[in-house]
């Protein structure tokens, strides 16, 4: 345990150096591209010696496999994680720490009144089938998402009034009202660009614009990409990528140890010591917007009583939970560090079982019996600790471990639950607490007002401020509890450079990764 912490601390001091290295590698690669020379490998400047191998295959171990590759119609972090930025691209994208950057667009401009967004496209963009990308494709993609309810991202384009191609390389989007999140939402499924009139069957094939093409999908096993050598931008650093889907954490560690993986993501902190041995792997700890959310059914008695909810929050020893998990930081409010509006709200729920008991007594709910609905994927640490903590204050918890589909049905759709635990991974999803129809069942007009204001506010800082205020109300109201803000542990073999560190669950942009011989 302590060894892990020490090991991780020393690793973290390399982080700034790693960033500089990544930048250097990127610039060098760009310079090489301009000189139209594809032969000589770019020098990698990281701890490994040797030149970058342009023919390398990168094998990455992932956990959750997408059920379908149709990113237009299927939602899910598993899809976006591998497909966005690698196969498909949007007008804009986001970095590991959720800053917005240009992608297909060479530049973007927002009018002073926040209603007009102008994007100028890069030159020479082609789809994988060879067709050139023009503004017509962009317009068609966005228009389809806006008009068709079944397309992913439809809801994000609700404020869009019109989408127009001013010329071959310029797209203008006008909104009906200013929206702080609009540009950010274009970094997701809503902003992806598909070829106009394309008939490719997206369930198993693709026709994107990204630095990789899809070569094979072995369902239940692996997904393979190959470098797109006709990519319009900086070519990828590796020749091919294989994503190995290993849902079992122990199996993942074994695969890494046996040498079949170059990178293992989502390493279980309790198993990490195995990979740390002999310097075989470098472990990085990354930030995420993954919020371990313990939802309370605010619409159902006795959870509609704020005192009961607050008591439950006070009964949980958050620090012990994180210690048992091995990774993560405490989170006491709905907004994580990487999102605008984050503030430390630990004062709203200090660990105080005695106060919890007295609150429950006050609310007339001693000897309360509640059920926790939790997808079995999350393991047993959380249920075990919650059961134990709640028992100490007189609450008997029954744990109902279900598969995701059943969770979706009973909790998410039918709102038939008491407590539920799920990792909410989407960035900037505070809006869920401002939506009375969301499965939280939380309905606070003040929060809704503040949220709406924050969205139409033109100044980013003021908007963040408003979000912060709203978040504080939500935390004080104990609308939910946040067991942790997850950190992601990644084990990287020496010689692999430029592998992303943060936000890996939602984005895995591999264009800048190189492998030295």
Partner 1 sequence: MSTLRRLRSSAAGLFGLIVVAAILVTAGVSLFWTPFDPRATDVASRWLAPSWPHLLGTDLTGRDILSLIMAGSRTTVLVAIGAGLIATLIGLALGALGALTARWVRETVAVLVDVLIAFPVLIIAMLISTVHGGSLWVVVWAVGIGFGVNVARVTRPELRRVQHSDFVIAGKASGLSPLQNLVQHLLPNIAPVFIVQLSWAMATAVLAEAGLSYLGFGASVVDPSWGILLADLQRYIQIHPLTVVWPGLAITITVLAFNLLGDALRDATDPTLRTGRRPANRARAGEPRLPEVTA
Partner 2 sequence: MLRYALTRGALLIAGLLVASALIFLALRVFPGDVAQLLAGNKATPEQVDAIRKALGLDQPLVLQYLGWIGGVLHGDLGTSQLNGASVAAELAQKAQVTVPLATLSLLVALIIAVPLGIGSALLRGRAAGTALNTAAQAVAAVPVVWAGMMLVVVFAVWLGWLPAQGFPRGGWADPGAALQALILPALTIGTIEGALLLRFVRSATLQAAGQDFVRTAAAKGLTRNRALLQHGLPAVGLSIITVLGIQVAGIIVGSVVVEQLFTLPGIGRMLVVDVGTRDLVKVQGELLVLTGMVLIIGFAVDLLHRALDPRQREADE
Q: Is 35 in the site for partner 2 (CB under 8 A)?
A: no
- DSSP assignment of 179-207, as one string? -TTHHHHTTTGGGB---TT----TTT---
Among 57, 240, 254, 456, binds partner 1 (CB under 8 A): 254
Among 23, 27, 30, 320, binds partner 1 (CB under 8 A): 320
Q: Which does 249 bind (CB under 5 to 8 A by kind): partner 1, partner 2, none?
A: partner 1
Q: Is 324 in the site for partner 1 (CB under 8 A)?
A: yes
Displacement of CA 76 from its chain's centroid (Å): 10
Which of 312, 290, 275, 285 has its CA nearest to residue 419?
312
Q: Is the dihedral of CA 57, 61, 62, 65 positive or negative?
A: positive
Our CA dihedral for 317, 323, 324, 328, rounded to 10 degrees, sits at 100
Q: Which does 320 bind (CB under 5 to 8 A by kind): partner 1, partner 2, none?
A: partner 1
Among 203, 234, 270, 371, binds partner 2 (CB under 8 A): 203
CB of 150 to partner 2, least distance (A): 5
Among 30, 158, 161, 251, binds partner 2 (CB under 8 A): 251
- The Cα-based distances of 97 to 337, 366, 463, 503 in angstroms read 10, 44, 19, 7
CB of 27 to partner 2, least distance (A): 35
Q: Is 271 in the site for partner 1 (CB under 8 A)?
A: yes
Rounded distance between C-alpha atoms, residue 439 and residue 432, angstroms: 9
- The Cα-based distances of 13 to 6, 285, 489, 491 in angstroms read 11, 11, 16, 16
Q: Which does 323 bind (CB under 5 to 8 A by kind): partner 1, partner 2, none?
A: partner 1
Among 38, 49, 55, 67, binds partner 2 (CB under 8 A): 67
Rounded distance between C-alpha atoms, residue 27 and residue 366, angstroms: 64
CB of 516 to partner 2, least distance (A): 22
Name which of residues 368 to 387 contact partner 1 (CB under 8 A): 374, 376, 379-381, 383-385, 387
Strands of the sheet containing 160-167, edge to edge, are 105-110, 116-121, 170-175, 160-167
Q: Which does 324 bind (CB under 5 to 8 A by kind): partner 2, partner 1, none?
A: partner 1
Per-residue DSSP letter, 64? P
Rounded distance between C-alpha atoms, residue 192 and residue 202, angstroms: 13
Rounded distance between C-alpha atoms, residue 228 and residue 86, angstroms: 10
Q: Which is nearer to partner 2, 107 or 260 (CB)?
A: 260
Q: Is 330 in the site for partner 1 (CB under 8 A)?
A: no
CB of 324 to partner 1, least distance (A): 5
Q: Which does 42 bind (CB under 5 to 8 A by kind): partner 1, partner 2, none?
A: none
Name which of residues 152 to 181 contact partner 2 (CB under 8 A): 152, 155
User: Mutual orientation of helices 306-315 and 353-362 as an angle, nearest 10°?
Assistant: 160
Strands of the sheet containing 240-245, edge to edge, are 212-218, 222-227, 240-245, 57-62, 263-264, 480-492, 282-296, 419-424, 369-375, 396-402
Q: Is 403 in the site for partner 1 (CB under 8 A)?
A: yes
Per-residue DSSP letter, 408? I
Q: Which is nearer to partner 1, 129 or 380 (CB)?
A: 380
Across-strand partners of 286?
A: 488
Residue 15 CA neighbour count, 13 Å, CB half:
14
Rounded distance between C-alpha atoms, residue 249 and residue 268, angstroms: 6
Q: Which is nearer to partner 2, 177 or 413 (CB)?
A: 413
Among 136, 408, 423, 473, binds partner 2 (CB under 8 A): 408
Q: Which does 515 bind (CB under 5 to 8 A by kind): partner 2, partner 1, none?
A: none
Q: Which does 38 bind (CB under 5 to 8 A by kind): partner 2, partner 1, none?
A: none
Would you tell me which residues interact with partner 1 (CB under 8 A)? 249-250, 253-254, 268, 270-271, 273-274, 317, 320-321, 323-324, 374, 376, 379-381, 383-385, 387-389, 391, 397-403, 406
Would you tell me which residues interact with partner 2 (CB under 8 A)? 67-69, 73-76, 149-150, 152, 155, 201, 203-204, 218-222, 242, 244, 246, 248, 250-251, 254-255, 258, 260, 403-406, 408-410, 412-413
């Amino acid at each position: 345990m302590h060894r892990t912490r020490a090991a991780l601390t020393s690793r973290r001091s390399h982080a700034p150096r790693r960033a500089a290295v990544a930048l250097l590698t990127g610039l060098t690669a760009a310079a090489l591209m301009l000189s139209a020379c594809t032969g000589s490998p770019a020098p990698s400047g990281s701890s490994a010696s040797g030149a970058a191998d342009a023919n390398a295959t990168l094998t990455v171990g992932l956990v959750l496999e997408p059920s379908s590759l149709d990113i237009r119609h299927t939602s899910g972090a598993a899809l976006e994680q591998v497909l966005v930025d690698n196969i498909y691209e949007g007008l804009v994208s986001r970095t590991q720490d959720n800053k917005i950057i240009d992608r297909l667009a060479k530049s973007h401009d927002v009018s002073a009144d926040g209603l007009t967004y102008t994007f100028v496209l890069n030159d020479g963009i082609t789809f994988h089938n060879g067709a050139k990308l023009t503004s017509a494709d962009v317009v068609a993609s966005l228009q389809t998402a806006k008009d068709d309810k079944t397309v992913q991202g439809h809801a994000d384009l609700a404020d869009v009034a019109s989408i127009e191609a001013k010329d071959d390389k310029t797209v203008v989007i006008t909104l009906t009202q200013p929206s702080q999140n609009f540009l950010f939402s274009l970094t997701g499924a809503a902003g992806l660009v598909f070829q106009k009139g394309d008939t490719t069957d997206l369930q198993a094939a693709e026709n994107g614009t990204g630095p990789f093409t899809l070569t094979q999908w072995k369902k239940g096993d692996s997904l393979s990409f190959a470098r797109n050598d006709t990519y319009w931008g900086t070519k990828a650093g590796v020749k091919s990528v294989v994503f190995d889907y290993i849902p079992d954490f122990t199996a993942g560690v074994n695969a890494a140890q046996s040498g079949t993986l170059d990178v293992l993501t989502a390493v279980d902190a309790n198993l990490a010591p195995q990979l740390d041995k002999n310097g075989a792997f470098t472990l990085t700890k990354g930030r995420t917007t993954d919020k371990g959310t313990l939802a309370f059914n605010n619409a159902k008695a006795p959870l509609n009583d704020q005192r009961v909810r607050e008591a439950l929050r006070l009964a949980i020893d958050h620090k012990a939970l994180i210690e048992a998990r091995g990774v993560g930081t405490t989170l006491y409010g709905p907004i994580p560090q990487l999102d605008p509006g984050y503030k430390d709200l630990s004062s709203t729920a200090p660990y105080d079982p005695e106060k919890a008991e007295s609150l429950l007594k006050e609310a007339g709910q001693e000897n309360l019996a509640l059920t926790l609905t939790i997808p079995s994927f999350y393991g047993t640490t959380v249920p075990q600790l919650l059961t134990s903590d709640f028992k100490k204050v007189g609450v008997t918890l029954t744990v109902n471990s279900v598969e995701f589909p059943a969770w979706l049905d009973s909790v998410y759709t039918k709102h038939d639950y008491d407590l539920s635990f799920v990792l909410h991974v989407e960035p900037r999803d505070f809006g869920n607490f401002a939506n009375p129809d969301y499965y939280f069942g939380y309905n606070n007009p003040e929060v809704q007002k503040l949220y709406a204001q924050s969205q139409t506010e033109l100044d980013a800082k003021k908007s963040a401020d408003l979000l912060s205020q709203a978040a504080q109300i939500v935390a004080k109201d104990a609308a939910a509890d946040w067991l942790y803000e997850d950190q992601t542990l990644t084990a990287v073999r020496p010689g692999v450079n430029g592998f992303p560190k943060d936000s890996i669950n939602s984005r895995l942009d591999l264009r800048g990764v190189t492998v030295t011989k």
